[in-house]
Structure 1
Amino acid sequence: MTADSDPLIGSWASVPHPLTVEMAATAGYDFVVIDAEHTPMSFETMGNMLRGSDGETETLVRVPDDDPTTLKRTLDLGPDGVLVPMVETPAQAEQIVECSRYPPGGTRGIGPGRSTEFTMSLDEHLEAGDDSFVRHVQLESQRAVENAAEIAAIDGIDGVFIGPLDLSLSMGCFGQWENDEFLGAVESVFSAARAAGVTTGTLATNDAEREQRLDWDVDYVATGMDLIHLANGMTEALEHSRDLVE
């Protein structure tokens, strides 16, 4: 989840089925975010969705919370990275790193899952350590903005991701993407991330948002969501058909 030059372009998978990841990979997206926070997704479904990637399209799982068991079970499935929502303090970021590192640097236990190729590459997996995946944290509140520099500076945090909807809601300017206070918060977070040398990312769901968010000079953008693509396509087809009938 690091862009050497141009930003990485990704898709957002909210439909809990492997096809949505396979379609994003087939289309040629650089990465796909698998959303386990706001969907009824099981770990079994998550594992099947990860199998939908072609190996070239990277996978970033947005976990439902920062619980150590959640992180452990997700990482055992072998994603390229995790995106942890609603991170607000350096202490929370430190806990995320600790419970996702193996001893002696952390408390993560060893599982016989996809991440170790079912123990067939266990030694290599343990040797790779932090290099085998990335940890990104989602900053989406005023408190998170205030603590952004300290959060980004935590050893083991690889990237920060702004959730525009929740951040604007937290600031009392929901959906007001040109609001000066909102844009100031965005710049504050990403400036702190760049100073700390970590990756920056965000989400866009339509043409105007894509243009704005790519102007934020981020390293990666999820530029669409499967549910919205589906809803828009169904609505457009229905409206066009009704126009033809009338």
Structure 2
Amino acid sequence: MNDLKKRVLAKTPTYGAWLQFASANVTEALVATGFPLVLIDNEHAGASLETTLAMMRAAEANGGEVIVRVPSSDPIYLKRIMELGPSGLLVPQVDTAEEAAATVAACLYPPHGRRGFARTVRASRYGQIANYAKEAHKDLTIMVQIETGEAVANAEAIASVEGVDMLFIGPYDLSGAIDELGATGSPVVLEAIAKVEAVAKAQNIALGTVPRANADAQTLFDLGYTLVLGISDIGALRNGLAVEAKAVPESARLIKAG
């Protein structure tokens, strides 16, 4: 069982970083700098399968573990990602228990699911891991995103689906679905988030999210969240460049930034 799965099952507070640059070098730098858990965002960034694999290798070579956020619950894409061997999978826009069950089924081999089997895939070390098909589910953390009013209403049923390891609240899409996009601190959004938090506690299932208005990582851990995905490669670069740019005299700029 990998470290991510152990921490999620034990509900140990865990911090991770987002990867939106499709770059193995950036992945390596981020992990080596002190962020051993990274998420490759293939919903909004969309690295190819080949680049995703290169990024995974870069993280793992530096002692890191990888979550992949997929663009959808398409079973063919899920199978391809599973064969690369990530530690975790984050699936967006899961609104019902039926959708959650279909996602789990696509990710796990029989009898736990209906994932197609190939012996010589990377996840099985090209066929060298004995009993890989029987044990694979023990090394995979499946996280489903709660991002709509429908998902909030169905949170209890979603959490009850066998194989779902975590409810991951997406506060920004949730705010757009039930109030105003970006209003993650509005009473309506906070009420919906509180409902999901209560479900997670009652169902004894791990909870994950991103920092939001008036809730940084430590605040979220104090509220009982297991996983917080905070810093991103693009955000870190942007913020670092902004600091450096302010230190450069205007007279020294070749072209004045607008």
The normalised TM-score by structure 1 is 0.91
- Cross-structure match for 1:72: 79
Q: Is the 8 A contact 2:16 2:39 kept in 1?
A: yes
The RMSD of aligned alpha carbons is: 2.2
Cα separation, 2, equivalents of 1:30 and 1:194: 27
Q: Distance in 1 between matches of 2:36 and 2:194?
A: 25
Paired position in structure 1 for 2:256? none
User: 1:101-140 counterparts in 2 under 5 A?
Assistant: 101-111=108-118, 112-121=120-129, 123-140=130-147
SS at structure 1 position matched to 2:35:
coil
Indicate which of 173, 176, 197 corresponds to 1:169.
Answer: 176
Mapped to 2, the partners of 1:214 and 1:132 lie a distance apart of 24
The one-character-per-residue Cα deviations of 1:184-225 (angstroms, maximum 9, x if unpaired) are 111211221232222111113899644553443200111211
Look up the match of 2:89: 82
Work out the CA distance in 2 between the residues paired with 1:192 and 1:88: 15
* In 1, Cα distance between equivalents of 2:152 and 2:54: 35
Structure 1 residue 54: deviation in Å? Answer: 3.4
Specify the code of the residue in structure 2 equivalent to 1:236. Answer: V
Partner of 2:100: 93
Q: Is the 8 A contact 1:206 1:224 kept in 2?
A: no
Count residues in correspondence. 245
Distance 1:136 1:184, change over 3 A: same
Note if contact 1:17-1:45 (Cα within 8 Å) is conserved in structure 2: yes
Distance in 1 separating the partners of 2:195 and 2:212: 23
Check conservation: 1:28, 1:57, Cα contact below 8 A.
no
Structure-1 separation of matches of 2:15 and 2:181: 25
Report deviation, 1:75.
0.5
Question: Normalising by structure 2, what TM-score?
Answer: 0.87
Distance of aligned partners of 1:195 and 1:20 in 2 relative to their CA distance in 1, 3 Å threshold: farther
Q: Distance in 1 between matches of 2:16 and 2:251?
A: 35
* Structure 1 equivalent of residue 40 of structure 2: 34
CA contact (8 A) 1:160 1:198 kept: yes
Stretch of structure 1 that moved more, 96-105 or 236-245: 236-245
Q: Decide which moves more: 93-102 or 199-208.
A: 199-208
User: Separation in 1 of the partners of 2:179 and 2:163?
Assistant: 32
1:147 aligns with 2:154: yes
Offset at residue 28 of structure 1 (A): 2.4
Distance across 2 between alignment mates of 1:9 and 1:64: 22
2:60 is the counterpart of 1:54: yes
1:63-86 superposed Cα distances (whole Å, 9 cap, x missing partner): 111010111000000000100011
What is the CA distance between 1:124 and its match in structure 2? Answer: 2.8
| Counterpart amino acid of residue 237 in structure 1 | E
Which residue number corresponds to residue 22 of structure 1?
Answer: 28
- Provide the rounded CA distance (Å) in 2 between the counterparts of 1:216 and 1:30: 23
State how far apart, in whole Å, the 2-side matches of 1:62 and 1:149 are.
Answer: 22
SS at match of 1:9: strand
Opposite residue 182 of structure 1, the aligned amino acid is V
Name the residue aligned to 1:12. Answer: 18
1:34–1:204 distance in 2 versus 1, CA, 3 Å: same
2:239 and 2:148 map into 1 onto residues whose CA distance is: 29
CA contact (8 A) 1:206 1:223 kept: no
Report the CA distance shift for 1:20/1:216 in structure 2 as closer, same or farther (over 3 A): farther
- Distance in 2, matches of 1:230 and 1:49, equals 18
Paired letter, 1:39: A
**Measured at CA, do residues 205 and 45 of structure 1 come closer, stay the same or move farther in structure 2, by a change above 3 Å?**
farther
Q: CA separation of 1:185/1:207 partners in 2, compared to 1, >3 Å: closer, same or farther? A: closer
Partner AA of 1:115 in structure 2 = A
